[in-house]
Structure 1
């Protein structure tokens, strides 16, 4: 309750500050607006004052010009020139009279005010008699010059114009001076007004500082303190909610999984427990040729028009609406097409007494058709596979026989002959002839070393001790070194990732034999001079790459010639790699070389 009351007080204080801010801003705005209006009014009036002074000064000039033109007319005797001069004087009189009446009575087109100060009115009242006498005398003078020329009369009229013209100039000077004085008073008044507005504005700003900005500063300081305190509480609350977040994490994962499943489901529908349709997805509708205008009431009727199939679907919904169901259904669509659906029915509780069933389907028609096609192809190709296995088996037996014959020849031709020679040499030693006996003993020592080397070579080819003792890394290093010495080829081995783990014996012996076969093929068939064996590994894969610079071969042609030696060699190599769950990749370019890659899971 106290917290709510405190919040209400804070809200009231902020509303009060907001009202004061609005009042202060409105006051400043009104002050600025009024000052601008007053300044613009004064500037406008000053513009009219300058124009009044200008026109008043022009009246003096026009009176002098009028007097001058009258005097000139008095001495002109040529009728044509006299007529032109009379027209000029009439024009000057007309302009002079227009300006005088505009100054005295005001004029909207010229911007002259109609309201005058009492002094100006008095001055115009004083000047009007002289103005009128000049106009009257000038009019009579022009009339005399137009009709009959009476010199005496003209002289009197000129004397009247000259006498009143000097008085008119003097009084017009007073009018100009009065206009100038009134303009100066207006400028002085405007300056005082602007200073008053400035003082008022500064006063408003000072009051805002004491009654608005200063209290607001305190409020903000208090608010920042509260925010810092709230931040500490929020950090503590965040730490406390980590445990709750961990508890909710599993629920969030489940929701994410559900959302992902829904987003990636192509065929889905929502139905009521009685089988009536709540909603069918757009793609499911297209598959079933169903739309909302079809008079279908149940999900079974939407799936198939066949009554027997509808009964099966209704039975599944009735029996499994609480526990859910998953299985495959074979239905007939509206266009008579046979469809296979992998259907999952999941019960979903909306409210306490309200539930629905979520139907998620996958169209497995193509998979079913493909499975049947695969079975048909398997039945057709089973004979070829059996024949192929027979060829592979015979090839394995043949290779074993060739290997046994090769070992037998090595033992008979090499080790056997050397042992026979050893036997005869031992029998022919004559101990009495020490010098010859010593020479034969030296020869027997050399022969014994050759026999030991031959035995080691034969046993190395059968099962290298490096493989069983130290593993595939040491065995391949030893293999490349020995073959390089025996063949004179440049055969190099690199362990790029320092692999030193042991594999099971079956995997190691197959890797060894396949590498040995690849190197022998590169030497025997590709006529290679440089062979590089690279071993590398990752967390779950061992890779062996054999590169040679041989003459290469046409891979497509070799694949087609399954019964040839090269074709069977590639097939045998792939079969042996599959035996240890590995894969072999062969890339060969004619006249450039061959790369063979073995990938074995570890």
Structure 2
């Protein structure tokens, strides 16, 4: 169909009525653009050249005007030399005169050559300006000769009283007026030439503007107008094709929308099923952990109330029997060994009972339990364990207290068994409605695998347990470590403390 043809194909077809083709329009359009570009380029180059010339001329004019001011300053300084009141500053005035006169001579040489010291300026003076400079030279040389004579006399004299240059001063004043008048003529001639050049530049830019405008009119009348007429038929065909395409697109959009809705429903159902499975698994795990904790609590109570009490009774009986063995050293030593063994067994039973379920956790809460965990391990090892907290003894949810305590217990136990640290720090604090537990050690650390390719071994059971316990109480678990950089275990649990006290305390278990 004609509507399916590209615009370029339609333009390249030669019409039956012998109208110009698209390639003809393209050639005319490119020719016009090149002509306009050349005009604008020539105008820009000429304008920049003129601007640079006039900028150089302005700099020369400023220096020429400065020469008039320099000559007047020189005359005023010379008059100060002969004043008795300026005797103390005679040498100062003489030094300033020599410096000003050297600058005056240098500037005069440069402006006659059309140059500026320190700037890349090379102005070609016109014949008129050169003529004014020729008329200026007698006055300039007379002024310069008088100044040179006055400087020589001043250098010979040591005080204003010894300085006598009346004739040279009269000659200096006589040449100053003509010099100033001639410099005014030079400046005026520069200004006249500047105005003339600006006017010529303005007319040239106006002529280029007219040519550019004519080129644009030509392009609009002989190129754009026929091209627009030719493109109108193509646009009509494209609009018809667009209408048909829009109808088809609406049908496709309707089908696509129905497909997206079906896919979204399938995705929602799959996600809901997955979340339901995860919730069921989490609930089963929670029940399992709760059962384990209850079993730990029961075993702890039985160890403490049953075996512990029985061992204590045995110890008391042994101590009582020991007292009846007076004078029998060998039997007494055996009873001492037996008594110490029973005492160690009682202490070990208490430790096992406390590890299974510390009574301080259920009786007093999380903060005292973690503090006791730090104190106990610190006494049993040579490693400093420091506990920081900003929490009061506010009781938390039972599952939160047990989960956080077990994670802290596992982290400290792992550090003591594997890391060989010098110090372990336990931080328990509330911030931004989160309960944070951070266990830091300065041990040997290990490399954490970041990808499945690196993870060739199953992660340690301790890390897995901590991760699972954090997930059960909706916490975020993070562990960071590196060889010889220590290990940091961090758990953050969303929780709002009631009646919280922001007092940061430090307990050093060492």
Relative CO higher for 1 or 2, CA cutoff 8 Å, sep ≥ 6?
2
* TM-score category, normalised to shorter length: 0.3 to 0.5
Of structures 1 and 2, the larger Rg is shown by: 1
Q: TM-score, normalised by structure 1?
A: 0.35
Q: TM-score, normalised by structure 2?
A: 0.41
